[in-house]
């Protein structure tokens, strides 16, 4: 599964700078601070459930983030969310917990 990190992240003891693209194992549960870049990653992002997209920024990275994420959660109804981009075809998710999305 390929992901692009939108913020600096520590995953499994490994530090990923914002903007870094990484191949991660299928056991990885993606946080909102990364963007899926292939179908398998989009499915894992979908399975993790609706999450607000964090600020897209590099703090200590020399890798520029020049594109906003194409795949993120958006509200499509009361308590219903759908991914954009790669995950758009995966359908709508109902979410009972409070989720604040832009």
Token pair listed for 12: 């499994």
Token pair for 22: 């990484």
Which pLDDT value is given to residue 101?
54
Q: pLDDT value at position 51? A: 86
> What whole-number distance in Å separates Cα of residue 94 and Cα of residue 77?
9
The Cα diameter of the chain in Å comes to: 40
Number of Cβ within 10 Å of residue 95's Cβ equals 15
pLDDT digits (tens, 9 = 90+) for 15-48: 998 888 999 999 999 998 899 999 999 999 999 9
pLDDT digits (tens, 9 = 90+) for 82-101: 999 999 999 999 987 766 65
Distance CA 47, CA 45 (A): 5
Within a 10 A sphere around the Cβ of 55, how many other Cβ atoms?
9
């Amino acid at each position: 599964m390929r992901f692009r990190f939108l913020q600096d992240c520590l995953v499994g003891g490994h530090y990923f700078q914002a903007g870094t693209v990484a191949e991660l194992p299928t056991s990885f549960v993606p946080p909102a601070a990364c963007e899926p870049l292939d179908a398998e990653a989009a499915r894992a992002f979908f399975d993790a459930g609706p999450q607000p997209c964090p600020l897209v920024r590099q703090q200590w990275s020399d890798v520029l983030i020049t594109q906003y994420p194409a795949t993120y959660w958006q509200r499509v109804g009361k308590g219903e969310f759908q991914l954009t981009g790669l995950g758009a075809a995966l359908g709508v998710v109902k979410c009972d917990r409070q989720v604040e999305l832009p």
